Amino acid sequence: MFYNDILSMNYVDAIMIVDQHGRIMYSVRYNPRFDEHCHDNEYESIINKNFLEVYPSINPNESTIIKSIKEKKPIYINEQAFIDYKGRPIKTQNLTIPIIRSGKVLGAIELSKDITKIEEKVNNNIKFKPVNKRNKVSHKAMYTFQDIITVNQYMLDNIRRAKMIADSPSSVLIYGETGTGKELFVQSIHNYSSRKDKPFVAQNCAALPENLFETILFGSVKGAFTGAVDKPGLFEEANGGTLFLDEINSMPFNLQAKLLRVLQDGKVRRVGDNKERKVDVRIITAMNIEPSEAIKQEQIREDLFYRLSVVNIRLLPLRERKEDIPVYIDYFIKKYNHKMMKNITGVSKEVEELFLEYTWPGNVRELQHVIESSMNFVQHGQIELIHLPVYLSEKIGYEGISEIDNKTIKDFDMELSLDEVIEKTERELIEKALKKSG
């Protein structure tokens, strides 16, 4: 079987050697897909680091490297999905062989074959089969930690912390600006937990009319009010699973005391009912402002905040993790190339500079929409300044060629080529735009 596994791989794209502690001693990749945006010094940066630190989406309990070292035998896996250290989703076939000398395991060699492109051809939608069974997607929560794309160390630490508390019964509060991926984290926590096969119920508190809030959250019994029927609330619907309350600071202040009691007692009483029903629900909440500000503005009771934030996770806005911007650009271009049947190769240097300077008030969601919008106006090649959405141009003060003080050809160095003139013009546009945007 072992030799059949070797033959089934045909070739390898990457080789990694680790010592008995999982520390990377050598790493090389031969596939151009891996190397198109990488330099030798970037690969050197992972040497002497633990491979789980470099690839945090890999679960230690399912790692072929750890298994091979522990069992002292070769391990083959047909497909493994993970996020590489550049934030790119990758799917590989792996053959891991222990290095043994005088009966002692010194480390392991892992041979990998990239099958991501093969899977894309087979399936129009890229769907990774997680190696980690705890990442199984439940019937209502779609996302797992493998869907979180980041190379920012703070965000990678958030992922590690979220995995650590996934099975805890403690309440979790996630806060961050709109578009930072709060629900992505919430669903990932649910799908990583032992509740993954139980209900996942999500409700945006800001979307509920105040007069219906109590009924929807706690349920009702027939006759409680005109038109009332026997109906379970969100707590009962989520029994055994996870209840996610987004924008919890939008919940009416008078109902927060009732929510606090439910959290303390683990029992819920429907509107108009005398009977209490026991519920087993993991509560995860989110808000888009700092908790201290929500308390100060009396949007949330202080005692409820402490009950909800046993574990709290802050998600950084995009402007505080700009190293993620090139990763997202690459990811979204590939995504919409597939959807739009195009072959856009990237963004121009000027656009990338602008993206890195822009503050992104809408965060990752805004960047995604900008990429999608721009790609509608590009037939081939790169996204240029002229392809950006009008609203973004207005925000940064970009008003077109007229911004260059009505320059004519004679204003430029006649020794410059046309491409150099265009590049210089675009650069001046960016500088003016950024000055206007502050």
Q: What is the DSSP string of 75-108?
A: EEEEEEEEE-TTS-EEEEEEEEEEEEETTEEEEE
Q: How confident is the model at residue 421 (pLDDT cuts 50, 70, 90)?
A: low
Three-class SS of residue 287?
strand
Residues 36 and 63 in one domain: yes
Residues 260 and 191 in one domain: yes
Asked whether residue 139 is domain-assigned, the answer is no
Residues 205 and 340 in one domain: no
Asked whether residue 432 is domain-assigned, the answer is yes
Asked whether residue 160 is domain-assigned, the answer is yes
Q: What is the DSSP code string of 127-160?
A: ----SSGGG---SS----GGG-----HHHHHHHH
Residues 104 and 28 in one domain: yes
Of the candidates 275, 291, 314, which is a domain's last residue? 314
Q: Give the domain range for residue 338.
A: 319-437
Asked whether residue 9 is domain-assigned, the answer is yes
Residues 372 and 433 in one domain: yes
Mean of per-residue pLDDT scores for the chain: 81
pLDDT of residue 207: 87
pLDDT at 247 over 90: yes
Residues 196 and 108 in one domain: no
| Average pLDDT estimate for 280-305 | 95
pLDDT of residue 370: 95
pLDDT tens, position by position, 82-92: 776 666 677 78
Asked whether residue 136 is domain-assigned, the answer is no
Q: What is the CATH number of the domain that holds 186?
A: 3.40.50.300
Q: How far is 48 from 195, CA to CA, in rounded Å?
A: 36
Asked whether residue 288 is domain-assigned, the answer is yes
Contact 371, 332 (CB under 8 A): yes
pLDDT of residue 38: 47
pLDDT tens, position by position, 120-142: 443 333 333 333 434 433 447 89
| Average pLDDT estimate for 375-388 | 92
Of the candidates 314, 335, 361, which is a domain's last residue? 314
Q: How far is 4 from 6, CA to CA, in rounded Å?
A: 5
Asked whether residue 140 is domain-assigned, the answer is no
Residues 151 and 99 in one domain: no
Q: How far is 150 from 159, CA to CA, in rounded Å?
A: 10
Residues 307 and 422 in one domain: no
Q: How many domains does the chain have?
A: 3
Asked whether residue 105 is domain-assigned, the answer is yes
Q: What is the CATH number of the domain that holds 347?
A: 1.10.8.60
Whose CA is closest to 431, among 396, 381, 406, 402? 396
Residues 210 and 98 in one domain: no
Residues 226 and 95 in one domain: no
Residues 247 and 284 in one domain: yes
Residues 308 and 217 in one domain: yes
Residue 353 makes CB contacts below 8 A (sequence gap 6+) with: 430
Among 44-48, 174-178, 295-299, which stretch is predicted with the lowest mean pLDDT?
44-48
Of the candidates 104, 131, 158, which is a domain's last residue? 131
Backbone angles phi, psi at 33, to 5 degrees: -60, -35
pTM more than 0.85: no
Helices (H) and strands (E) in the chain — how many of each?
18, 16
